[in-house]
Structures are given as C-alpha cells and as structure tokens.
C-alpha cells in the first residue's frame, strides 16, 4: 500500500493530553513507515492530520476554523498528489464523526480514538478514489502501542498502560470519547519498557486517565504497583506516571515513592476542588480531608516530593465559600505547579444539566486570584532549590539561547545552564548532568554544570 504515500510529506497538529501526543507518535510512525516524510508546517505538507481534543470548549471551536482556513494555503511545489489531503482524528473525530465531513467540505478523512490504524487506508481511499470517508468505532483496536511509532524524543517514551476511563466525573467528556477503561497486559508493558531501555531511553512516563485503577478489568483488582515494580526492574533511569486519581491512590503506591530507585519525586494528583460539596457534585468520590491525608502520607515517605494538580474554577453552583476552600487547600499543600481551568460546559455530561448562574466576571476574578496564589507558591517552592545540586536530564538547548542547555530535574522542574565550554550541545541531549542551582524563578531554575 506504500505507493501512494511515497514522496509525500505530512504534518500532524496535536491538541490535548499526553494520550493524544502519544497517538500522534503512532500516526507519525505509520506514515513514515509508508514512505511519507514528516514536515513542520501545513505549507510544506501534502497530508495534514489534526489530533483533536474536546475536553474544554476553547480547543473544540478552534478546530473548525483551522481546518476551514487550510484551503487558502497553496499546495507546495512538487507535491505528487496534486491536492492537499486532510484528516481529523482524536477526541473530536470520535465525538463528531461524519458530522465533520458535512461541516467541512475540504476535509477528506475522519477517524476516531479507537482506530488509529485505519488512517493510512482511509487516506489512500481518499487519494486513489477521491472518496471522503469517516470511520469511528465504539471501541476497538486495543492499543495503539501495537502500531509503529516515531517517538518525539529518543531519550523519553510514553507508555500507555490503560486507555479509556470509568470514572465519569460529572464535568468530563473523556469517558464518552475514549470509552471504558481497558488495561494492557503486565507482560506487554514490561516488554515494551525493556525494549525502550535497550534502545537507550532514559525516562518512561506511564500513561492512563487513571493509572491507579490499572488491572481492575484484567485481574479483578488494581495492580498498578506491579507495573511500577516491573518497569523499575527494567533498569530505566527515570520513571513517571500520569494521571493519578486520588480515590484510587493506594498506600502501596505511595510507599514506592520511598523505595523504588527509578520513581521520580514528583506526582501529579488532580484535586479539582477543595470543597467537599463541589467534590461530591463533581462525582470525584473523595473528600478534602482524604486528599490532604494522601499528601501527608506522601510527604512522610518522600519529604521532597514535588506535587502538581489540576483545578476547575467556576463549577456549576460554586460559591465564594467553596472557592475559598480550594484557595486554602492550594495554600496549604504548596504545589510546584497547578493547572487551572475555568469550568467549560460539555454537552452530554451530567454537569451540563446543573444550574449554573455564577456571573462570568465573578468566576474570572476567582480564577485570577487563584493564579496569583499558584505563582507565588511555585516561586516559593523553587526558592528552596537555591544552592542544591540537581541531576538534569538534558532535553536540548533553551529556545531563546542556543548556548544554554535545558532539561528537567527529578522533580520535573525546567533547569537552564550554560553549556560547558568544549562540549557539544547535541552530545549532551539525553544525558544527565549535575547542575548547581543559582537562580530560582517561578517556572524555571538556572545554574551551572558542576561536573559534566
């Protein structure tokens, strides 16, 4: 089937979460395998793939405009296809299917979250038979990990351990577009991890909407801790995971932060709200007190652990008192990073039916106050690093200055340091260097390499 793709170019625009980014690596792997060449921009591309997200309205409305405006971009010189072909996949593809083809007359292909592997066939049909096609499955092809991949970085890999979600938080569209939770076999995960280690990968991030419930469908009980142990045993240098639902975070997993060599001292633990009334309306199934007790346990095991979280401001019915509970929780925990979102109504979710009469300005004001606090706390957390020597996994050079290396600390902080003289920046990528921290800003640290 490779012939139609030979000599073509493609670009992928990815929105949304790491699951989508990982899926894009698979799409890239498939298209490259068929002889198409990856390029950065739509101008240079014969094939354009949008991997979309509908978790919030903003990401959603933008897509239609972007696809529509593509028709104004001239085809590159020398394109073997005579026309630019476009495809929409990911969560909007899954949700809207055929509707997208109707709304966007220049769009050629729609595919969903369960059938990434169908994309080359659908594109080929469009190219050879001028047949616009949409294919969306309700559930299906178990894991995109069985498809070829073109990883974004040679030193880091995302490894999905579950797909889908069973939690149905009342505001969230994800369970409707990613389907029910399905776990991959432990042996398959370990095998993929071993392959990465052999290929020189330094950091593995285990992926799932709720990694803590891993294995419930396969083994009748959650066995996430076994995944952690198995991947650690491969000899990987750094191990991370996302996302963790507080209701399923077990003492055993917490304990691994103190015992597993490769498990990095950083945890993303979305709280969403600090008010018990709102947590209940969100169907999160934990209380503020239980969440705080998890934080306490984590810090007892690993006092330096860096915590990050997600918060939704302006959930239907949120009062000033509810918001202040969230505010005080953020103050108390002292997160290194908080992803703050204004509630966005998603059709088809239970929260979309709830009475929602808080004025927009009131919500914006709460949001701004929270962002100020988050920045102050992140700045404070980073000050504690001054003078410390941290191991930095080098990712490349700073966007603003090619003579400065950029990488991540074990706590996932961005660290900058001048490249030591006589050392080739490219050779440093993927290696770990010790950096003494001399400056601490809100969103990054900088210092000097002490011993490259």
Contacts to ligand SF4 by CB under 6 A: 165, 167-169, 172, 174-175, 209-210, 245
Q: Does residue 343 belong to the site contacting ligand SAH (CB under 6 A)?
A: yes
Q: In this chain, which stretch among 140-148, 341-349, 368-376, 418-426 interacts with ligand SAH, using CB under 6 A?
A: 341-349
Q: Does residue 282 belong to the site contacting ligand SAH (CB under 6 A)?
A: no
Count of residues of this chain found to bind ligand SAH when the rule CB under 6 A is applied? 17
Which of ligand SF4, ligand SAH, ligand F3S, none does residue 444 bind to, with CB < 5 to 8 Å depending on kind? Answer: none
Among 344, 398, 414, 442, binds ligand SAH (CB under 6 A): 344
- Over the window 166 to 185, marking each residue x when it contacts ligand F3S by CB under 6 A and - when it does not, the resulting string is -------xx--xx-------
For 436, residues 6+ apart whose C-beta sits below 8 A from its C-beta are: 387, 388, 389, 447, 448, 450
What is the distance between the alpha carbons of residues 262 and 256, in angstroms, rounded to a whole number?
10
What is the distance between the alpha carbons of residues 78 and 44, in angstroms, rounded to a whole number?
10
Q: Does residue 312 belong to the site contacting ligand F3S (CB under 6 A)?
A: no
- Over the window 242 to 281, marking each residue x when it contacts ligand SAH by CB under 6 A and - when it does not, the resulting string is -x-x------------------------x-x---------
Q: In this chain, which stretch among 14-22, 194-202, 380-388, 440-448 interacts with ligand F3S, using CB under 6 A?
A: 14-22
Among 136, 174, 390, 428, binds ligand SAH (CB under 6 A): 174
- Taking the complex as a whole, the smallest distance from the CB of residue 15 to ligand F3S amounts, in Å, to 7
Interacting positions 83-102 with ligand F3S (CB under 6 A): 90-91
Q: Does residue 316 belong to the site contacting ligand SAH (CB under 6 A)?
A: no
Contact call for residues 139 and 114 (beta carbons, < 8 A): yes
- Taking the complex as a whole, the smallest distance from the CB of residue 23 to ligand F3S amounts, in Å, to 9
Strands 133-135 and 182-183: unpaired
DSSP 38: E
Strands 445-449 and 432-440: antiparallel
Binding site feature residues: 17, 53, 91, 165, 169, 172
Strand order in the sheet with 156-160: 156-160, 203-207, 238-242
Q: Does residue 158 belong to the site contacting ligand SAH (CB under 6 A)?
A: no
- Taking the complex as a whole, the smallest distance from the CB of residue 217 to ligand SAH amounts, in Å, to 17
Q: Does residue 310 belong to the site contacting ligand SAH (CB under 6 A)?
A: yes
Which of ligand SAH, ligand SF4, ligand F3S, none does residue 373 bind to, with CB < 5 to 8 Å depending on kind? Answer: none
Interacting positions 208-237 with ligand SAH (CB under 6 A): 209-210
- Taking the complex as a whole, the smallest distance from the CB of residue 183 to ligand F3S amounts, in Å, to 17
Which of ligand SAH, ligand SF4, ligand F3S, none does residue 298 bind to, with CB < 5 to 8 Å depending on kind? Answer: none
* Burial of 76 per CB tally in 10 Å (0-12, 13-18, 19+): middle
Q: Would you give the distance in Å from CA 5 to the centre of its chain?
A: 29
- Biggest alpha carbon–alpha carbon distance for the chain: 64
Contact call for residues 267 and 305 (beta carbons, < 8 A): yes
| Closer CB to ligand F3S, 53 or 269, in the complex | 53
Among 39, 54, 55, 116, binds ligand SAH (CB under 6 A): 55
The candidate with the shortest Cα–Cα distance to 222, out of 247, 258, 241, 256, is 247
Among 55, 236, 311, 449, binds ligand F3S (CB under 6 A): 55
409: which 2 tokens? Answer: 């600390």
DSSP H or E stretch at residue 379: helix 360-383
- Taking the complex as a whole, the smallest distance from the CB of residue 237 to ligand F3S amounts, in Å, to 27
Q: At 204, give phi and psi (nearest 5°).
A: -115, 135
- Taking the complex as a whole, the smallest distance from the CB of residue 238 to ligand SAH amounts, in Å, to 21
Q: Does residue 341 belong to the site contacting ligand SAH (CB under 6 A)?
A: yes
Q: At 219, give phi and psi (nearest 5°).
A: -115, 0
159: which 2 tokens? Answer: 């490894």
**E strand residue ranges, 231-367:** 238-242, 266-268, 306-313, 337-342
DSSP 386-441: TT-EEEEEEEEE-SS-TTEEEEE-TT--EEEEEPPTT--HHHHTT-EEEEEEEEE-
Whether a cis peptide bond, with omega within 30° of 0, leads into 243 is yes
Q: Which residues of the chain form contacts with ligand F3S (CB under 6 A)? A: 16-17, 19-20, 53-55, 90-91, 173-174, 177-178
Q: Which residues of the chain form contacts with ligand SAH (CB under 6 A)? A: 55-56, 171-172, 174, 209-210, 243, 245, 270, 272, 310, 312, 341, 343-344, 346
């Amino acid at each position: 089937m490779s012939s139609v793709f030979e000599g073509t170019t493609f670009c992928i625009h990815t929105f949304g979460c790491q699951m989508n980014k990982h899926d894009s690596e698979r799409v890239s792997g498939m298209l490259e395998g068929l002889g198409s060449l990856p390029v950065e921009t739509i101008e240079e591309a014969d094939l354009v793939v949008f991997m979309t997200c509908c978790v919030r309205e903003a990401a959603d409305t933008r897509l239609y405009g972007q696809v529509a405006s593509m028709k104004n971009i001239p085809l590159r010189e020398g394109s073997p296809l005579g026309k630019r072909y476009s495809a929409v996949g990911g969560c909007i593809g899954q949700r809207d299917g055929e509707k997208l083809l109707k709304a966007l007359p220049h769009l050629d292909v729609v595919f969903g979250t369960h059938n990434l592997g169908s994309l080359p066939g659908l594109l080929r049909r469009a190219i050879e038979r001028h047949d616009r096609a949409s294919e969306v499955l309700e559930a299906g092809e178990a894991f995109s990990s069985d498809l070829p991949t073109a990883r974004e970085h040679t030193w880091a890999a995302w490894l999905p351990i579950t797909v889908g979600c069973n939690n149905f938080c009342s505001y969230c569209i994800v369970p409707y577009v990613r389907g029910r939770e399905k776990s991959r076999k432990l042996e398959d995960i370990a095998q993929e991890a071993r392959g990465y280690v052999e290929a020189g990968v330094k950091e593995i991030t285990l992926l799932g909407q709720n990694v803590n419930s891993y294995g419930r469908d396969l083994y009748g009980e959650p066995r996430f801790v076994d995944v952690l142990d198995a991947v650690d045993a491969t000899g990987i240098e750094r191990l991370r995971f996302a996302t963790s639902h507080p209701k399923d975070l077990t003492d055993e997993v917490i304990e691994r932060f103190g015992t597993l060599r490769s498990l990095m001292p950083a945890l993303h633990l979305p709280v969403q709200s600090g008010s018990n009334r709102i947590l209940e309306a969100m169907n999160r199934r934990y209380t503020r007190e239980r969440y705080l007790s998890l934080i306490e346990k984590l810090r007892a095991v690993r006092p330096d652990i860096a915590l990050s979280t997600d918060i939704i401001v302006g959930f239907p019915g949120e009062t000033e008192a509810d918001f202040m509970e969230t505010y005080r929780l953020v103050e108390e925990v002292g997160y290194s990073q908080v992803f703050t979102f204004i509630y966005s109504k998603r059709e088809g979710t239970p929260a979309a039916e709830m009475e929602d009469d808080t004025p927009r300005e009131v919500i914006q004001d709460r949001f701004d106050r929270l962002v100020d606090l988050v920045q102050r706390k992140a700045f404070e957390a980073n000050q504690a690093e001054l003078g410390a020597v941290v191991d930095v996994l080098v990712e490349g050079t700073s966007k603003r200055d090619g003579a400065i290396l950029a990488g991540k600390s074990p706590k996932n902080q961005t660290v900058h340091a001048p490249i030591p003289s006589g050392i080739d920046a490219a050779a440093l990528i993927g290696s770990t260097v010790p950096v003494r921290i001399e400056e601490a800003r809100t969103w990054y640290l900088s210092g000097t390499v002490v011993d490259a």
